[in-house]
Amino acid sequence: MKNTPENPAPPDADARRAAPPVIVYPAETLPARPMALFRKAQKTLRLLETVTVPAREARCFHVPQGHFFRITAPEGPQVGDLNLWNANDLSERFYSGKTRALHGTHLSTGDSLWSSFPHLRPMATITHDTLDWYGFDDDGASVHDVIGTRCDPYTNTLLGGGEYHHCCHSNLIRALAAQTGMTDMQAEDHVHDVLNVFMCTGFTRDTHQYFMKASPVRPGDHLEFVAEIDLLGALSACPGGDCSTTHSSDVATCHPLAVEIYAPEPTALQGWSPPPPNGYSRRHRD
């Protein structure tokens, strides 16, 4: 946060501030995802499995490469915190910060969820977002952000909230530990910054501080992805519920979430090749 300045502006301050903004990573420079093919495959989807995520808990789920998954809020407005790993190598995981740099603060149809270095490839691509009508509201807020990190018990303790064990961070740890047989401490090393599914967030106009407001999600909405590699996912139903008031406590009204796993017809993705690992040599020197 920028406080009241202690230094006077230089004579050419206006000229310096007038430099034009340059988009760091123009969208058209990214390798295009085959959205037309994904949409064709989307019309052939067959539901294989539904994983229910209880309120204030998290659950893991598997999505084979080339399958689709939908996150829904079947019983009422609820925010979800999503982690993704390569199912065959947990060191490759969702990289929220780079995804933000590449696609912006909030994700929707056509955006990919990119993986960590040295892989840096699309792990999943969003193929449908029933909340895409929301856009950016008058507060500058939108849905599905990659700016928040996840609610966690460390920050809660730091802020004087005491011990609370159903923060998304702890929920994701318990879910991953149950899925893999790791201890909680081992699982914690794999939990990472999330995609905040259905969460409505932005930065205040004056101080540019992170804010949340009531999620616009309703039963019937979904966010749909195609898995571009074999995925292990974990989804936490945030203790903030619709994140309209508070989180990191049992005060907010919470609902379960669901993850639906779908298979397309076997030939539907013919012509699609999964993204290879990043092509950089990793020499890091001449």
What residues from 202 to 241 belong to the interface with Zn ion (CB under 5 A)? 238
Kind and range of the H or E element at 279?
none
Cβ-based nearer residue to Zn ion, 164 or 272? 164
* Residue 221 Cα distances to 62, 123, 240, 259, angstroms: 21, 23, 19, 12
Least spacing, CB of residue 81 vs Zn ion, in Å: 5
Query: Counting contacts by CB under 5 A, is residue 151 touching Zn ion?
Result: yes
Q: Which residues, numbered 118-147, are part of the site for Zn ion (CB under 5 A)? A: none
Identify which of residues 86 and 170 has a Cβ nearer to Zn ion in the complex. Answer: 170
| One-letter amino acid of 55 | A
The residue written with tokens 């009204």 in the block is 253
Pairing of β 222-227 and β 231-237:
unpaired
* Stretch touching Zn ion by CB under 5 A, among 16-24, 134-142, 151-159, 179-187: 151-159
Between 60 and 151, name the residue whose CB sits nearer to Zn ion: 151
Q: How many CB atoms neighbour CB 70 within 10 A?
A: 20
Q: Whose CA is closest to 203, among 213, 217, 215?
A: 213
The dihedrals phi and psi of 128, each to the nearest 5 degrees, come to -160, 140
User: For Zn ion, how many residues bind (rule: CB under 5 A)?
Assistant: 3
Is the Cβ of residue 127 or residue 170 nearer to Zn ion in the bound state?
Answer: 170
In the bound state with Zn ion, the residue whose beta carbon lies nearer, of 33 and 100, is 100
Of the residues 82, 168, 177, 200, which one makes contact with Zn ion according to CB under 5 A:
168
Which residues of this chain interact with Zn ion, rule CB under 5 A? 151, 168, 238
